[in-house]
Structure 1
Amino acid sequence: MAARDWHDWHRAYAQPASFLSRRLAVVQDRIREFLDRAAPGPLRVVSLCAGQGRDLLETLGTHPRRTDVTARLVELDPRNAAVAADTARTAGLDGVEVVVGDAALVDRYADLVPADLVLVCGVFGNITDDDVRRTVGYCAQLCATGGTVVWTRHRDEPDLVPRICDWFAAEGFTLSWISDKAAGFGVGVHRFAGAPRPLDRGARMFTFVADPPPRART
């Protein structure tokens, strides 16, 4: 099977009724809630495998807290990164940096963590269960005390979402919100109640599987 074209994958967002568009709306609502409730002052955001940055950038572009946010979006596909960079520039989001590179490398975030918001969207459906568990552990290094992680995962069988919630709990996170299984997708929000752990410099959090699922259910 040929490797997925991640730029072409984004075309589904042009269809309002598509799985990706419906899930995106939910993720954006969760980001908006985070921004609405965040304490006054600077906010740091990191986004892993950010794609075209639609989740954060489309939300931040019209939000009153837009100038408070310093964000780094890391995306391997240069075409998607170019779209994200153009969106940020057009919206005047001067605090947003788009980095072309491997989002699985911890060092990509070294000077911006612990962050107030960590986005792990479109990742957990493309890596092994062991790597999902490993990445959840690294979220305790990336996230500030009281910070928020927003993540996604499909609900196809075997449904890993309940175990992901358990893994977050084991790492010191509390569940703030989880989408209903009937929605057909999983969006989770966890708040970190612990103290950030030292960053494991030089480490890799995950590796995308060679043959991703046939449906756009990441």
Structure 2
Amino acid sequence: MTRDWYAWHDDYDRPDSPLSRRLTELRQRIAEALDQAPPGPLRAISLCAGQGRDLIPVLADHPRRDDVTARLVELDPRNVEVARAAAARAGLTAVEVVAGDAAQTDRYADLTPADLVLVCGVFGNIPDADVRATVGHCAALCATGGTVFWTRHRREPDLVPTICDWFAEAGFTPVAVSSPADGVGVGVHRLTGPPRPLAAGTRMFEFVGDDRPEEQK
């Protein structure tokens, strides 16, 4: 059965759900990164952005809101409309929500390297080899000193420690990684070296088929 990515967001509205708890932690980490960002213009990109519930509400209330130019890329047109409406209500005129394939590097070429890179709801739904490849691409999407926010469930087999190793190989240092006991799988890494060149016309990942048991993204 094909998964409904619009209805998938309903769990965000259930305070005790893992997705709701994960969202709370993500928003906190994004706000902290904005607090620590240097003065001046900032750029943010979000892959598979859904309804933009992680980034848009933080920007709406943050003192750096007018410094941020952002692009959210999402395939489901219903989620795109929700995110666009949320950005409009918040008066975030520099937040662009694009309907399209978030796996294509060309979607981000003019906004990279970015200061905030969100890869949330991706690593739990793509093959491990694609996770590793996408981590490598993050080193091109992210600016020096910029921050990548990512998620992955902590069920067995727990790939999170290996993902952290892949981020280290790509030149990132850990800022925060949730423990297995938290059950929400939030990771934050910062690029310490220079960004890699962004490969043009490259597909970073493929979502797995929807016929397997549903995972927490």
TM score, norm. by length of structure 1: 0.97
Moved segments of 4+, more than 6 Å: none
Partner residue in 2 for 1:165: 164
Shift of 1:116: 0.4
Partner SS for 1:21: helix
Partner SS for 2:54: helix
Q: Distance in 2 between matches of 1:215 and 1:178?
A: 23
Partner residue in 1 for 2:74: 75
Partners of 2:47 and 2:120 within 8 A in 1: yes
What is the root-mean-square deviation of aligned Cα atoms in Å? 0.9
Shift of 1:213: 5.6
Gaps of 5+ in 1: none
Structure 2: which amino acid aligns with 1:61?
A
Q: Distance in 2 between matches of 1:41 and 1:3?
A: 43
Partners of 1:126 and 1:212 within 8 A in 2: no
Partners of 1:76 and 1:103 within 8 A in 2: yes
Partner SS for 2:131: helix
Q: Distance in 2 between matches of 1:152 and 1:52?
A: 16
Structure 1: which amino acid aligns with 2:27?
Q
Shift of 1:164: 0.2
Partners of 1:113 and 1:142 within 8 A in 2: yes
Q: Are the structure 2 counterparts of residues 212 and 191 from structure 1 closer, same or farther at C-alpha, using a change threshold of 3 Å?
A: farther
Structure 2: which amino acid aligns with 1:107?
D
Partner residue in 2 for 1:52: 51
Q: Distance in 2 between matches of 1:63 and 1:148?
A: 17
Partners of 2:142 and 2:148 within 8 A in 1: yes
- Aligned: 1:180 with 2:168: no
Q: Distance in 2 between matches of 1:203 and 1:12?
A: 32
Partner SS for 2:61: coil
Partner residue in 2 for 1:85: 84
Partners of 2:19 and 2:184 within 8 A in 1: no
- Aligned: 1:132 with 2:131: yes
Gaps of 5+ in 2: none
Shift of 1:158: 0.2
Partners of 1:20 and 1:216 within 8 A in 2: no
Partner residue in 2 for 1:103: 102
Shift of 1:212: 6.5
Identical residues among aligned pairs (%): 67
